Amino acid sequence: LDENIDEIHTLITAFTGAAAVNVGGVTIHTTFGISTQTNSLNDHLSSDKLNSYRCKLHCLKLLFVDEGSLIQASLWGAMHSRLTQIMGIQSNTVIFGNVAIIAIGDFYQCSPVASSSIHSSLLWCNHFEYIELKINERQKINLSFSQMLNRIRKLKKSENISNEDRDMLEKSHQRYLSQEYD
C-alpha cells in the first residue's frame, strides 16, 4: 500500500483549547477558520486560503468532535458549510462535505452559554444517531458514588440535590482535601 503519510484521514477536534490539548487535537475554530466571536465563517476565504485547506484536508474521512454538548447550533452549521466548501461539494443533499462525524461528550454536562445547542440544529436532528455509553469506566469501582453522580447530572434546574447526595459529596471532598501530595 503506497499511502502518503501527509494526508489527513482522521482529525480530532474539540470546542475549547484545553479539551483539544487533552485529546491531542485542535480546536474546531482553528481547524476550519471559524470566528470565535460569532461562530460564523470568516468573511471570505481567498482562493489561496481555500486551496491551503483543501490540500490539508482533502482526504479527511472521519472527524471526532469532543465536548459536543458545548457546540452551538451556529457553530455546527459553520462546520458543515466549511467542510462542504473544502471538499468542493455542490449538492444540498451531502452534509459536512461527506465526512463522517463522531461527536463525543456528556450532553447532560453543559449547554452552550449564549446560544442554542447542537440539538436545535436540523443538521443534528435529521442526520445523527445518538448512542449512549452506559458504563462509566472512571467510576465503575465505586458504584454508589457513580450512581450519585448520575442522579446529580440528571437533575433539572428547578430540582435540589438530596441531603444524602450532598453528604456523600462533602465526605468525598474532605477525603480529597486531606490527601498529602508529594
Q: What mean pLDDT do residues 58-80 have?
A: 90
Question: Is-contact 72 114, C-beta < 8 A?
Answer: yes
pLDDT over 70 (residue 39) = no
Question: Is-contact 126 88, C-beta < 8 A?
Answer: no
Q: What mean pLDDT do residues 155-180 have?
A: 89
pLDDT at 92: 83
State the CB neighbour count (10 A cutoff) for residue 128. 17
By DSSP bridging, strand 26-27 and strand 100-103 are unpaired
Q: What mean pLDDT do residues 10-32 have?
A: 94
pLDDT over 60 (residue 146) = yes
Residue 68 pLDDT grade (very low, low, confident, very high; cuts 50, 70, 90): confident
pLDDT at 97: 94
Neighbouring-strand partners of residue 101: 63
What residue type is 36 in one-letter code? Answer: T
pLDDT at 3: 53
Question: Is-contact 70 117, C-beta < 8 A?
Answer: no
pLDDT over 60 (residue 27) = yes
3-class SS letters over the chain: CCCCCCCCCEEEEECCHHHHHHCCCEEHHHHHCECCCCCCECCCCCHHHHHHHHHHHCCCCEEEEECHHHCEHHHHHHHHHHHHHHHCCCCCCCCHHHCEEEECCCCCCCCCCCCCEHHHCHHHHHHCCCCCCCCCCCCCCCHHHHHHHHHHHCCCCCCCCCHHHHHHHHHHHHHHHHCCCC
pLDDT at 90: 84
pLDDT over 90 (residue 51) = yes
CA separation (Å) from 98 to 90, 136, 178?
A: 11, 32, 52
All 3 cell numbers of residue 47? 482562493
